[in-house]
Amino acid sequence: MRRIVTTAALLLAAACGKKDQNQPASAPAAAPGNALLTPGAPAMQAQAPATYRAKFQTSAGDFTIEVTRAWAPKGADRLYNLVKNGFYDGDRFFRVLPGFVVQFGLNGSPAVNAAWHTASITDDPVTQHNTAGTVVFATAGPDTRTTQLFINYADNSRLDGMGFAPVGRVVEGLDVVQRIFSGYGESPDQGLIETQGNAYLMQAFPKLDFIRQATILP
């Protein structure tokens, strides 16, 4: 299921700094644990704290997001469990449109992508605007949020009416987010990422920035 948020509208089909020269060796797909292969596992169903921070260590530098559960409870819980269980470790920023969004959240392991392909959560009401630095789940239409996220580069409040509900915002390292490599634009094929994972991206798009590790901060 390909998720795309366009600068003009949402296309209903499934809604990326300095390069690390050792990228292929240093950022393979994370080895999938049992929870990553079982979206319904108890480890993936925990309720998130009212507010929490997640640190993303990336090849472009580090940034931290703060999630407020009251903004979008279902999305906040999903993101909390994905980060806590290492879903984003090794993942690439595969869609980067300066002045609009940077998108990520397809796993480097095809097996993990297959497990989460239809593991959707229902929508949260939109309570916050899609302003610069907000973190939002990508969607392919109503009730289709799974694992993909985007960070708004600018004031994209026009997305509010399309059902995009921010779950949090970047509170540290927004300059890092702004310098994520954007040279490939929308070229990486989401279908091939799902079925071939990082093997496809590392061969065809070797300059993509990537997440080394994402962790919930104490």
Output the pLDDT for position 28.
57
Output the pLDDT for position 32.
73
Output the pLDDT for position 19.
36
Q: Is residue 111 part of a domain?
A: yes
Q: Is residue 84 part of a domain?
A: yes
Cα three-residue angle 158-162-163, rounded to 5 degrees: 120
60 forms beta bridges with none
Which tens digits make up the pLDDT trace of 13-67? 344 333 333 344 445 566 676 899 999 999 999 999 999 999 999 999 999 999 9
The domain that holds 99 is classified in CATH as 2.40.100.10
Q: Is residue 5 part of a domain?
A: no
Output the pLDDT for position 24.
41
Q: Is residue 30 part of a domain?
A: no
Q: Is residue 8 part of a domain?
A: no
Listed in sequence order, the residues at least 6 apart from 158 whose beta carbon sits closer than 8 Å to its beta carbon are 130
Q: Is residue 39 part of a domain?
A: no
Which residue range forms the structural domain that includes residue 148?
48-216
Number of domains in the chain: 1
Q: Does residue 209 contact residue 60 with C-beta atoms inside 8 Å?
A: yes
Q: Is residue 119 part of a domain?
A: yes
89 forms beta bridges with none
Listed in sequence order, the residues at least 6 apart from 216 whose beta carbon sits closer than 8 Å to its beta carbon are 52, 53, 54, 80, 83, 84
Output the pLDDT for position 21.
35
**Burial letters 87-115, b for 16+ CB under 10 A, else e:** bbbbbbbbbbbeebbbbbbbbbbbebbeb
Q: Is residue 7 part of a domain?
A: no
Output the pLDDT for position 16.
32
Rounded CA gap, 15 and 110, in Å?
A: 18
**Burial letters 131-142, b for 16+ CB under 10 A, else e:** eebbbbbbbbbe
Placement of tokens 């799902």 in the chain: 194
Whether this model's pTM surpasses 0.75: yes
Which tens digits make up the pLDDT trace of 85-141? 999 999 999 999 999 999 999 999 999 999 999 999 999 999 999 999 999 999 999
